[in-house]
Amino acid sequence: MFQTIRDRSAVFIAGMSETLDNNDDIVIRVATVDDTEQLIEFLHVHYYRDEPLTVGTEPLTPDAADVDFLRSNFPAGACLMALCNDRIVGGAIAGPKLPDIGTEIFEEARKYAGTKWGCILGMLAICERDANAFQRFNVDKIMHLNALGVDTSLRGRRIGERLVTALIARSRELDYPLLTVDCTSLYSARLIKRLGFELLNTVPYADYVNAAGQQLIRPPAPHECVQTYAMRL
Ligand code: COA
């Protein structure tokens, strides 16, 4: 039974004169519905402010519909949080996808047309269509990682990797045959590739344009594309 994954290596918090070690180790656990607002608050600071789709579109803050979408994932039991001394240092928001997602996501993009969330959904709909994971792997349900965020001062220390490793275990436990993720960031793509996920598709940001040929999402360097990856479980 999946409960916690502990890592006893020392972690230094930049800007704080303390090391987090032994007693202060990192624990990863399933985020319950009761954890929703705490984790969402964390993601506002440590996910949305750097996530390429969010920072590549105006206004810089996420739309309410975007945040509500993240909230809607919690009941499925596959959202995870990394804790250090009860302080959240990372979060992974994952939820199930069903085969009609391809149609659904284009419809949602149309519903929110003209908004930041509509623009983001338009890009994700193209990724979904082109990756074609349901047909490619002949599965009837997929666990999808929708958001991954690590404390800004603790990046590059494999906390993201530990969260994804725990999500693989949790998705297996929930009996999902496939785990997918749209890596909107070069950093998340590196992490996912390192864990052995298979690359399904790449959509360059430069290719996502409006009728006038203007690029719709303009993230800062080094983020140039969305890469969809999958792992059979
Ligand atoms: N500076 C330098 N390198 C960084 C970095 C930083 N601030 N953040 C991540 N990286 C690199 C790591 O070196 C590593 O690359 P490598 O495999 O070539 O060594 C890779 O990115 C990820 O490493 P890891 O330590 O396992 O991940 P992490 O704990 O730093 O978390 C993210 C990765 C993507 C979750 C984190 O950067 C983040 O929260 N970003 C903002 C939100 C976001 O963009 N989420 C992903 C959307 S799909």
How does pLDDT run across 73-90, given as a tens digit for each residue?
999 999 999 999 999 999
> Closest Cα to atom 23, ligand 1: which residue?
156
Confidence (pLDDT) at 102: 83
Mean pLDDT of 163-174: 98
Confidence of residue 22 (pLDDT cuts 50, 70, 90): very low
Provide the token pair at 77: 């039991």
**Residue 110 contacts by C-beta under 8 Å, 6 or more apart in sequence?**
118
> What does the pLDDT average to over 157-164?
96
| DSSP annotation of 213 | -
Tell me if 47 CB under 6 Å of ligand 1: yes
pLDDT at position 177 over 50: yes
Contact indicator for 100, 87 with CB cutoff of 8 Å? no
Q: What's residue 9's pLDDT? A: 36
* Residue minimizing CA distance to atom 10 of ligand 1: 156
| Best CA proximity match to 92, nearest among 10, 29, 186, 33 | 29
Q: Residues 161, 195: contact at Cβ < 8 Å?
A: yes
Measured in angstroms, how far is the CA atom of residue 220 from the centroid of ligand 1? 15
Where is pLDDT greater, at 69 or 13? 69
Q: Quick one: average pLDDT of 191-207?
A: 98
Residue 133, CB-side half-sphere exposure with 13 Å CA sphere: 32
227 lines ligand 1 (CB under 6 A): no
* 157 in contact with ligand 1, CB cutoff 6 A: yes
Q: Name the phi and psi angles at 6, rounded to 5.
A: -105, 145
Distances (CA, A) of 231 to 43, 49, 69, 87, 143: 25, 28, 23, 30, 10
Closest Cα to atom 16 of ligand 1:
190
**pTM listed for this prediction:** 0.91
The best mutation among 155, 184, 217 to test binding of ligand 1, ranked by most ligand atoms within 8 Å of the C-beta, falls on 155
The average pLDDT across 187-208 equals 98
Which region among 19-33, 102-116, 133-147 has the lowest average model confidence (pLDDT)? Answer: 19-33
Average confidence score pLDDT of the chain: 91
Residues forming beta bridges with residue 227, ordered by sequence position: 183, 202
Residue type, position 113, single letter? A
Distance of CA 84 to the CA centre of its chain: 20
CA distance 120 to 5: 33
Q: Which of 144, 186, 191 to mutate to test the pocket of ligand 1 (most atoms within 8 A of CB)?
A: 191
Q: What residue ranges in 13-161 does DSSP mark as E strands?
A: 19-20, 26-30, 80-84, 87-97, 142-150
Predicted confidence band at 143 (pLDDT cuts at 50, 70, 90)? very high
Whether residue 23 is predicted with pLDDT greater than 70 in this model: the reply is no
Does the C-beta of 128 come closer than 6 Å to ligand 1?
no
Is the pLDDT at 2 greater than 90? The verdict is no
At residue 21, the pLDDT reads 43
176 lines ligand 1 (CB under 6 A): no
State mean pLDDT over 215-223. 98
Question: CA-to-CA distance for 30 and 80, rounded, in angstroms?
Answer: 4
Please say whether the beta carbons of 47 and 209 come within 8 A.
Answer: no
Q: How many CA atoms lie within 13 A of 195 on its CB side?
A: 27
